[in-house]
Amino acid sequence: MMKAGHLYRKILVPLEGTSHDASILNHVRELAKTHGSELILIHIADGWSARFFREESDSKEVREDRAYLEKCAKSLKEEGIPATWRLGFGHPGPELVQAVEETGCDLVAMTTHGHRWIEDVLFGSASSEVRHSVEVPVLLLRTEKKRRPPSP
């Protein structure tokens, strides 16, 4: 039996590089503090250069992705939360499944938007592929849609 407080040693956190990341980072920040977890931040670069050259890519997109992940990890470390990062290349679903296997994480915590149904049906969603392909728990946090301000 695992000790309370150590249920999740490593949490894999896929980030998009968008405003949706704040939702999942706020959530996993508290999980990490509660469970003494290491956070492994990951972003999947999926532009042409990233897909073709993979780790060899030095496109503007890939440089910006690396800088973003470094910044997020640094911010978490400054709060005392162990954080590392990795950049994947290609199609998000298979890359995330591979990252789960390679990192030995105990939990995947990611956002889902719930508003791209047609695209998800046609191309599949990364969250769906991950939750159907891995043996560890997957926490899906639905991000809030921007609401219109109330009418006066």
Chain segment 7-46, per-residue pLDDT in tens:
899 999 999 888 889 999 999 999 999 999 999 999 998 7
Three-state SS at 56 = helix
Instruction: Tell me, yes or no, if the pTM score tops 0.95.
Output: no
Domain assignment of residue 152, yes or no: no
Token pair listed for 86: 């990795």
104 or 114, which is more confident?
104
Number of domains in the chain: 1
The domain spanning residue 79 has which CATH number?
3.40.50.620
For 37-63, how does the pLDDT look when each residue is reduced to its tens digit (9 = 90+)? Answer: 999 999 998 765 666 556 666 777 888
pLDDT confidence of 136, banded at 50, 70, 90? very high
Domain range enclosing 136: 10-142
Domain assignment of residue 149, yes or no: no
Domain assignment of residue 95, yes or no: yes
Task: Strands of the chain (E only): list them.
Answer: 10-14, 38-45, 83-89, 107-112, 138-142
Domain assignment of residue 2, yes or no: no
How far is residue 86's CA from residue 99's CA, in Å, rounded to a whole number? 9
Token pair listed for 38: 């290491």
Domain assignment of residue 3, yes or no: no
H helical segments located in 58-146 = 60-78, 92-103, 117-123, 126-133
129 or 118, which is more confident?
129
Domain assignment of residue 1, yes or no: no
